[in-house]
């Protein structure tokens, strides 16, 4: 995805000199596009009550009415304007995604940092727990829990948040473990610094960018799971989210009546939001990965310098 | 033998995980406040005798730890109780549903892995080319499509062209074995395609970045200096080493496969285990729900174990 | 010796990153080298001098951002003529290469035998049983039994891996072998073996060899001719004897001066200690340490102590104020673990550590903390030892903040400036705001030292303080340590694998081998009258920068010329003149 040339210069700058900057990340087209998409959806969610053309609770046209000049995206099974629903639906989907992600990242980062920093039995214990959570099929457990507790938005948030942290914990642990072995951490420790000083001054700032990338990527999974749970009828049935919009449409046979407009707007909104998050998160993560900077198997080869037209330096 | 200890460790871990899942299941459905089994009265259409039998069967009149031991014993014998809806043993229902699920999910997953590997390898080795940009962007798009959305789009797009619900034609009564197979395959096309499209994208992205990481390793440079042809380097060096992270990541995405198949079975009315779970939720059929949860967990743990053993086979450096 | 050159570089130029709007970096500038069959040629330079790029160009293995001009002639034919197409057929068949990091140069998931056989296979040399036999022969040629071909690279030791790499390089009977720092990561004695192997093979097979290295002594002992590279250019080229005895270029001279000669022991033991009444600064008695690792879950559950083999087994030594003691040993000898124990970062299993008369053995982390002001450590890798997000000011001020020294920011700044000037970073104002990546390797190491001495410790522990630095800046850093010892009367315990460095700077040397100190004494005595066999073997394996060491026997004139110059780099001595510590 990145357009920068793959470069391996045996004698050039040391690999340690590399520091990704926000500006550097945003100079990548993918990252910028991703950021713009996410910003667009967030803005819509914030201002949706003021730009919705119709009420989202009252019928303003016929059942499954096709898109028209008055109703750009048609209407749902209850005759509610689809554009208004989709504009509003992002709000809860995004809140659920964001809150669940924050819970997950909070748990994951804490476990990852403790595990990677202290190592030994702390590490073994925490990673064993993580391994259990990793093999339990999360959505199935979510279904079981949501089914037992009953459908509700807060249950969905808690369940997603409490089950989704394993990947983050593993990633952060690996990162912290390698930071822990870094000489400068050892040096600061030998200076007499306490664990808290090291963790807050030297570990967390280092994993910060990675954590940001991971958060953005985790949001995609959280939103995915929210729509999946909503689709299975385990979310709050009265809330308007992209997940419930699709669920309603499917439930009321929008498919067999060919009312694609009841499905496509919400589906594409989810898809574009997730795409934006993915592009942004992936670009940051790639920029942080030094192993992607070098390639020994490029499709392009070195060139011979043409003998003419290069100025005095050429010969 | 190299790392026999490793194999045993992984097997022991898998067994321990099954045990944890069993216990979690017990806590979730019995111990937590408002858990369903303790409220036998909720059982739909149950006569007082039936309730009494159930109470005895679950040992609800005994202390919790005894209930737990009873539950473990029954579970080990494969007894997860009777489904509220069709009065059949839960296990029989699950095995039947699982048998329906396997061909569809296996076909979708295998196709997704093959497609993902191909696309991922091609874009990684032609990094930065138009091919790479195109295939990566398409993969990101498919990655972003919610499974249910993809399924419904296929349904709308191919309504009338291909069978869209169930796994066989209920009216083809006197079909020959050949016709029945053909019919089954036709019914599989849409769900398998939907599953493949949702899963391939993540695989392609995983494979691409795993290979890109190996392309910077020194042994690739050695291979080039050695005069090893490009395709051989890709196969024996880049892909072979990238297989290690790929196996790990695909194993970690087993959960996604499960989610995907549940959604797809619901959309295409495929009578598999995912749909069984979905119906159980709708009908508050707790024995089925409980059994289904456990069943799927065990299947996932098994595949995880297979992935662990495969990793061990692929990486000669593992010793413990 | 009028044979035609087998390999010749003619006016070779390499640029990186040339774009229409960007002239790029000119990393190799007009290199001319001609190599005769069977000749061994040394290419010497520091990191970034373009030496690796030069030989990579001969293999056609430059990255896609590279642009090349000039010719590389193999037996008179220009192999760069048509780019990749014309180089590719010669790879491994005519020109083979041994890479720097043998660890990562092998494919980790294939056996060594498979990888050698692959070279035979792709070049149609041999297949099947014939290939298997040939692999066995090749491995035996480099001293590895044929049966070991079924092993994986990680099952080999570093030296074995490098020898297997050489066997693989010889698979297709090349005419030229390019070796890129083939021994950098290896211990002195293993390095010696690998180099001897290369020389022997070159003689037996009439193989032309280019040895790329930063170590002049290696070239002096193993090559016929050599070229010195600086900033992409060859500044001097000639026979190794000429380079050593009659260097023309300043840079060559500087390089030789910076390559210490082990037998030119700098200091005789100083006059009797005036403060013999006081207890020694550091006294280590019968110290035992096992490999440090945190307790495992099982050990916590069973309340066991971690069991591990002893890495440091019963060592005793003392360091006094104003004294530098060198702890010499190969990797794995336990010297770093011993130092970690002295620093209180690793628990000891037995013995005593006394600091300034106070027994610090077995103190907990909390009790150690105030003591850390007295004892500071300098690390090997200056790239790694600084937090890249910290400016120089913050790095040097951090110890002050940890120990709550200096009440105000102004006071703290004054101490930081003082420390920076003390290590020769003057004027300090110029460095305060910089990030590590804006500093050179030597400067980074000075910043790390400043961050240690800002607490005014009495004892400095230095773990290979110069081994990661370029040869020409090593002397400066070592001089700085020497001054701290002399002027600030700090006691210094320095770990090094390099007996020459120890010989030149330490008062006393302790030689460590497999967790024990096999020999300990004044530097002069350990070098000139070694008693332990291990010390003798170590001394014998050190390459001598003098290509004709027999001459030294005739008169000591030569080696005395190369005693480390007492003149300091200008900016250092400048800062010292008006500096009271």
Give pLDDT tens digits for C269-291. 554 445 556 778 899 988 988 87
Instruction: Give residue B121's pLDDT.
Output: 95
**More confident: B26 or C196:** C196
C-alpha dihedral sign at A162, A167, A171, A174:
positive
Q: How many CB atoms lie within 10 A of CB C489?
A: 15
Give pLDDT tens digits for C436-487. 888 888 899 999 999 999 999 999 999 988 888 888 788 888 999 999 999 8
Residues 230-249 of C with CB under 8 A from A: none
Instruction: Give residue B42's pLDDT.
Output: 53
Give pLDDT tens digits for C553-563. 444 433 433 33
Question: C-alpha angle C501/C506/C511, rounded to 5°?
Answer: 75
Q: Looking at residues A182-207, what average pLDDT do you find?
A: 90
Mean pLDDT of chain C: 85
pLDDT higher than threshold 50 for residue A312: no
* Placement of tokens 């093999």 in the chain: A135
Mean pLDDT of chain A: 82
Task: Find the range with the poorest average confidence among A106-110, B112-116, B119-123, C340-344.
Answer: C340-344
Instruction: Give residue C272's pLDDT.
Output: 45
CA distance C238 to C248: 10
Nearest CB among C83, C386, C398 relative to A301 is that of C83
Rounded to 5 degrees, φ, ψ at C486 are -75, -50
Residues 387-416 of C with CB under 8 A from A: 387-389, 398-399, 402-403
C61–B219 C-beta distance less than 8 A: no
Nearest CB among C99, C122, C152 relative to B229 is that of C122
Does any CB of chain A come closer than 8 Å to the CB of residue B124? no
Percent of chain C with pLDDT over 90: 43
Nearest CB among A271, A282, A294 relative to B145 is that of A271
Instruction: Give residue B82's pLDDT.
Output: 81
Classify burial at C556, counting beta carbons within 10 Å of its beta carbon; exposed 0-12, middle 13-18, buried 19 or more: exposed
Does any CB of chain B come closer than 8 Å to the CB of residue C109? yes
Give pLDDT tens digits for B79-133. 877 887 888 888 999 999 999 999 999 999 999 999 999 999 999 999 888 999 9
pLDDT band at A15 (very low <50, low <70, confident <90, very high): very low
CA distance A145 to A151: 9
Residues 67-106 of C with CB under 8 A from B: 88-89, 91-93, 96-97, 99, 101, 104-106
Please, what's the largest Cα pairwise distance for chain C?
78
C93–B315 C-beta distance less than 8 A: no
> What are the start-end ranges of the E strands in C405-498?
459-463, 491-496
Token output for B179: 């016709």
Q: Looking at residues C182-186, what average pLDDT do you find?
A: 82
C-alpha dihedral sign at A237, A241, A244, A249:
positive
Percent of chain C with pLDDT over 70: 90
Nearest residue in B to A244, CA atom: B148
Residues 177-216 of B with CB under 8 A from A: 205, 209, 212-213, 215-216
Q: pTM here?
A: 0.84
Please, what's the largest Cα pairwise distance for chain B?
82
Percent of chain A with pLDDT over 90: 24
Distance of CA B285 to the CA centre of its chain: 22
CA distance A83 to A73: 5
CA distance C155 to C164: 12
C-alpha dihedral sign at C275, C279, C282, C287:
positive
Strands of C208-213's sheet, edge to edge?
A: C95-98, C176-180, C208-213, C40-44, C225-230, C233-239
CATH topology of domain B4-12+90-314: MetI-like fold (1.10.3720)
SS (H, E, C) C133-202: HHHHHHHHHCCCCHHHHHCCHHHCCHHHHHHHHHHHHCCCCCCEEEEECCCCCCCHHHHHHHHHHHHHHH
Nearest CB among A148, A167, A292 relative to B213 is that of A292
Q: Are A230 and A244 in contact (CB under 8 A)?
A: yes
Instruction: Give residue A294's pLDDT.
Output: 79
Q: How is chain C split into domains, by residue range?
A: 7-257, 282-291+309-538
Instruction: Give residue C556's pLDDT.
Output: 43
Question: C-alpha angle A35/A41/A42, rounded to 5°?
Answer: 85
Instruction: Give residue B116's pLDDT.
Output: 94
Q: Are B239 and B213 in contact (CB under 8 A)?
A: no
> What's the number of CA atoms in the CB half-sphere (13 Å) around residue B159?
15
Answer whether CATH 3.30.70.100 is correct for domain C7-257.
no
Q: How many residues are present in chain C?
A: 581
Give pLDDT tens digits for A242-267. 988 898 888 887 777 878 888 899 99
Contacts of B151 in chain A (CB under 8 A): none
Q: Looking at residues C89-101, what average pLDDT do you find?
A: 90
Q: Give which of C97, C16, C85, C15 is closest to C55, Cα–Cα.
A: C97
Task: Classify domain C282-291+309-538 at the CATH superfamily level.
Answer: P-loop containing nucleotide triphosphate hydrolases (3.40.50.300)
Instruction: Give residue C270's pLDDT.
Output: 54
Q: Give which of C432, C376, C377, C372 is closest to C403, Cα–Cα.
A: C372
**Beta strand C176-180 pairing with C95-98:** parallel
Nearest residue in C to A314, CA atom: C69
Instruction: Give residue C269's pLDDT.
Output: 55
- Following CA atoms B227, B233, B237, B243 in sequence, which dihedral angle do they give, to the nearest 10 degrees? 180
Nearest residue in B to A265, CA atom: B149
Distances (CA, A) of C122 to B230, B234, C60: 11, 15, 18
Q: Give which of B154, B161, B147 is closest to B198, Cα–Cα.
A: B147
Contacts of B228 in chain C (CB under 8 A): 118, 122
CA distance C462 to C130: 53
Instruction: Give residue C566's pLDDT.
Output: 36
C109–B241 C-beta distance less than 8 A: yes
CA distance A310 to B72: 81
pLDDT band at A153 (very low <50, low <70, confident <90, very high): confident
Q: Looking at residues A1-14, what average pLDDT do you find?
A: 32
- H helical segments located in A181-233: 183-190, 195-198, 204-231
Contacts of A119 in chain C (CB under 8 A): 294
**More confident: C26 or B320:** C26
Prediction ipTM score: 0.84
CA distance A176 to A194: 16
CA of C397 vs chain A CAs: smallest distance (Å): 11
Burial A150-161 (b: 16+ CB within 10 A, else e): ebebebbbbbbb
DSSP codes joined into one string, C451-476: HHHTT--SEEEEESTTTTS-HHHHHH
B152–A250 C-beta distance less than 8 A: yes
Within chain B, which residues score under 70 in pLDDT? Answer: 1-3, 31-48, 50-51, 54-61, 172, 320
Instruction: Give residue A14's pLDDT.
Output: 32
Q: How is chain B split into domains, by residue range?
A: 4-12+90-314
B133–A140 C-beta distance less than 8 A: no
Q: Are C286 and C314 in contact (CB under 8 A)?
A: yes
Nearest residue in C to B240, CA atom: C109
Token output for C118: 């692959």
B125–A297 C-beta distance less than 8 A: yes
C109–B316 C-beta distance less than 8 A: yes
CA of A297 vs chain C CAs: smallest distance (Å): 9
C-alpha dihedral sign at B306, B310, B311, B313:
positive
pLDDT higher than threshold 60 for residue A16: no
CA distance C237 to B1: 55
Instruction: Give residue A6's pLDDT.
Output: 31
> What are the start-end ranges of the E strands in C263-414?
282-290, 310-319, 324-328, 350-355, 358-359, 375-378
Task: Find the range with the poorest average confidence among A144-158, C12-26, C202-216, C262-276.
Answer: C262-276
> What number of C-beta contacts closer than 8 Å exist between A and C?
150
Please, what's the largest Cα pairwise distance for chain A?
80
Instruction: Give residue C577's pLDDT.
Output: 33
Question: C-alpha angle A107/A110/A112, rounded to 5°?
Answer: 100
Domains and CATH numbers, chain A: 22-297 (1.10.3720.10)
Instruction: Give residue C528's pLDDT.
Output: 86
A206–C300 C-beta distance less than 8 A: no
Q: How many CB atoms lie within 10 A of CB B49?
A: 8
Token output for C106: 């092998």
Distances (CA, A) of A28 to A33, A287, B133: 9, 9, 14
**More confident: C464 or A137:** C464
Does any CB of chain B come closer than 8 Å to the CB of residue C154? yes
Contacts of A6 in chain C (CB under 8 A): 63-64
Distances (CA, A) of A208 to A111, A216, B35, C130, C388: 15, 12, 41, 56, 14
pLDDT higher than threshold 80 for residue A27: no
Contacts of B284 in chain A (CB under 8 A): 147
C123–B236 C-beta distance less than 8 A: no
Nearest CB among A1, A8, A299 relative to B136 is that of A1
- The reply to whether C282-291+309-538 shares the fold of C7-257 is yes
DSSP state of C566: S
């Amino acid at each position: 995805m990145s357009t920068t040339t793959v470069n391996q210069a045996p004698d050039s700058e040391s690999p340690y000199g590399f520091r990704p900057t926000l500006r550097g990340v945003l100079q990548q087209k993918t990252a910028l596009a991703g950021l713009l998409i996410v910003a667009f959806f967030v803005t819509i969610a914030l201002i949706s009550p003021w730009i919705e053309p119709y009420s989202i609770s009252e019928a303003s046209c016929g059942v499954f009415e096709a898109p028209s000049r008055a109703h750009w995206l048609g209407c749902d099974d209850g005759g509610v304007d689809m554009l208004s629903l989709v504009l509003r639906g992002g709000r809860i989907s995004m809140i659920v995604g964001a809150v669940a992600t924050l819970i997950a990242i909070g748990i994951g980062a804490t476990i990852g940092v403790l595990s990677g920093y202290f190592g030994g039995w702390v590490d073994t214990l925490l990673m064993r727990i993580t391994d259990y959570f990793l093999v339990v099929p999360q959505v199935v457990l979510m279904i079981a829990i949501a089914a037992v507790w009953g459908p509700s938005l807060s249950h969905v948030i808690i369940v997603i948040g409490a089950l989704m942290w394993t990947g983050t914990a593993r990633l952060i642990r690996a990162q912290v473990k390698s930071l822990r072995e870094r000489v400068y951490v050892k040096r600061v420790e030998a200076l007499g610094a306490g664990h808290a000083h090291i963790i807050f001054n030297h570990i967390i700032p280092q994993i910060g960018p990675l954590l940001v990338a991971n958060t953005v990527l985790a949001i995609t999974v959280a939103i995915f799971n929210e729509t999946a749970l909503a689709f299975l009828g385990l979310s709050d049935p009265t809330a308007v989210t992209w997940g419930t919009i699709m669920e309603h449409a499917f439930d009321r046979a929008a498919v067999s009546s060919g009312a694609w407009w009841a499905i496509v707007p919400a589906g594409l909104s989810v898809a574009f939001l997730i795409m934006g998050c993915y592009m942004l998160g992936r670009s940051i993560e790639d920029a942080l990965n030094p192993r992607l900077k070098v390639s020994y198997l490029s499709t392009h080869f070195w060139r011979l310098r043409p003998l003419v037209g290069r100025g005095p330096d050429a010969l | 033998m190299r790392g026999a200890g490793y194999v045993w460790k992984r097997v022991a871990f898998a067994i321990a995980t099954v045990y944890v899942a069993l216990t979690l299941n017990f806590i979730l459905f019995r111990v937590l406040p408002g858990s369903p089994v303790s409220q036998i009265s909720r059982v739909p259409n149950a006569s007082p005798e039936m309730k009494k039998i159930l109470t005895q069967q679950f040992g609800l009149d005994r202390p919790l730890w005894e209930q737990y031991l009873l539950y473990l014993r029954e579970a080990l014998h494969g007894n997860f109780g009777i489904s509220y809806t069709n009065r059949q043993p839960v296990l029989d229902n699950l095995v039947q549903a699982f048998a329906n699920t396997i061909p569809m999910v296996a076909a979708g997953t295998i196709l997704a892995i093959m497609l993902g590997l191909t696309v991922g390898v091609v874009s990684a080795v032609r990094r930065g080319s138009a091919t790479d940009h195109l295939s990566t962007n398409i993969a990101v798009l498919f990655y972003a499509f919610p499974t249910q959305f993809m399924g419904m789009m296929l349904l709308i797009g191919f309504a009338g062209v291909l069978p869209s619900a169930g796994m066989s034609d209920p009216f083809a009564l006197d079909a020959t074995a050949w016709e029945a197979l053909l019919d089954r395959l036709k019914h599989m096309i849409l769900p398998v395609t939907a599953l493949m499209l949702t899963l391939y994208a993540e695989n392609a992205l995983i494979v691409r970045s795993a290979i890109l990481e190996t392309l910077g390793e020194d042994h690739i440079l050695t291979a080039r200096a050695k005069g090893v042809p490009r395709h051989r380097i890709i196969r024996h060096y880049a892909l072979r080493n990238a297989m290690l992270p790929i196996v790990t990541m695909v194993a970690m995405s087993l959960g996604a496969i499960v989610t995907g198949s549940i959604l797809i079975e619901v959309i295409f009315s495929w009578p598999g285990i995912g749909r069984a779970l979905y119906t159980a939720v709708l009908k508050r059929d707790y024995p089925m729900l409980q059994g289904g949860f456990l069943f799927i967990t065990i299947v996932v743990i098994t595949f995880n174990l297979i992935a662990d053993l495969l990793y061990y086979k692929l990486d000669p450096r593992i010793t413990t | 010796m009028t044979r035609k050159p087998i390999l010749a570089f003619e006016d070779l130029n390499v640029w990186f990153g040339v774009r229409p709007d960007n002239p790029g970096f000119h990393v190799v500038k007009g290199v001319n080298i001609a190599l005769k069959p069977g000749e061994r040629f040394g290419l010497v330079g520091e990191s970034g001098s373009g030496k690796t790029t030069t030989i990579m160009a001969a293999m056609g293995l430059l990255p896609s951002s590279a642009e090349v001009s000039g010719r590389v002639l193999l037996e008179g034919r220009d192999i760069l003529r048509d780019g990749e197409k014309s180089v590719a057929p010669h790879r491994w068949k005519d020109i083979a290469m041994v890479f720097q990091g043998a660890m990562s140069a092998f494919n980790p998931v294939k056996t060594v035998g498979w990888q050698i056989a692959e070279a035979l296979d792709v070049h149609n040399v041999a297949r099947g049983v014939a290939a298997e036999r040939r692999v066995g022969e090749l491995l035996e040629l480099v001293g590895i039994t044929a049966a070991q071909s079924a092993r994986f690279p990680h099952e080999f030791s570093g030296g074995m891996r490098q020898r297997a790499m050489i066997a693989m390089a010889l698979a297709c009977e090349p005419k030229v072998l390019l070796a890129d720092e083939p021994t950098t990561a290896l211990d002195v004695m293993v390095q010696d073996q690998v180099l001897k192997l290369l020389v022997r093979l070159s003689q037996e097979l009439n193989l032309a060899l280019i040895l790329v290295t930063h170590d002049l002594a290696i070239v002096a002992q193993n090559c016929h001719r050599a070229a010195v590279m600086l900033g992409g250019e060859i500044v001097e080229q000639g026979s190794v004897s000429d380079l050593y005895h009659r260097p023309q270029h300043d840079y060559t001279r500087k390089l030789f001066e910076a390559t210490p000669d082990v037998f030119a022991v700098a200091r005789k033991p100083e006059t009797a200690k005036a403060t013999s009444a006081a207890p020694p600064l550091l006294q280590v008695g019968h110290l035992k340490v096992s490999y440090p690792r945190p307790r495992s879950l099982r050990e916590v559950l069973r309340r066991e102590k971690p069991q591990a083999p002893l890495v440091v087994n019963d060592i005793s030594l003392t360091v006094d104020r104003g004294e530098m003691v060198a702890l010499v040993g190969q990797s794995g000898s336990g010297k770093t673990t011993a130092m970690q124990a002295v620093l209180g970062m690793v628990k000891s299993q037995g013995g005593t550590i006394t600091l300034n008369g106070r027994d610090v053995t077995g103190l907990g982390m909390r009790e150690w903390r105030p003591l850390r002001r007295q004892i500071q450590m300098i690390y090997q890798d200056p790239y790694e030892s600084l937090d890249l997000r910290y400016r120089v000011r913050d790095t040097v001020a951090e110890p002050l903040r940890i120990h709550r020294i200096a009440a105000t920011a102004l006071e703290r700044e004054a101490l930081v400036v003082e420390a920076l000037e003390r290590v020769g970073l003057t004027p300090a104002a110029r460095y305060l705001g910089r990030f590590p990546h804006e500093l050179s390797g030597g400067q980074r190491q000075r910043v790390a030292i400043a961050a240690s001495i800002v607490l005014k410790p009495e004892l400095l522990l230095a773990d290979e303080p110069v081994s990661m630095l370029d040869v020409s800046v090593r002397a400066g850093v070592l001089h700085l340590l020497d001054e701290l010892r002399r002027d600030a009367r700090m006691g210094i315990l320095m770990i090094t694998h390099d007996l020459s460095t120890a010989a030149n700077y330490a008062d006393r040397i302790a030689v460590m081998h497999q967790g024990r100190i096999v020999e300990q004494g004044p530097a002069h005595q350990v070098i000139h009258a070694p008693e332990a066999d291990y010390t003798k073997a170590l001394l014998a394996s050190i390459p001598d920068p003098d290509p004709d060491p027999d001459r030294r026997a005739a008169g000591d004139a030569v080696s005395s010329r190369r005693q480390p110059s007492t003149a300091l780099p200008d900016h250092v001595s400048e800062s010292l003149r008006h500096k009271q510590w």
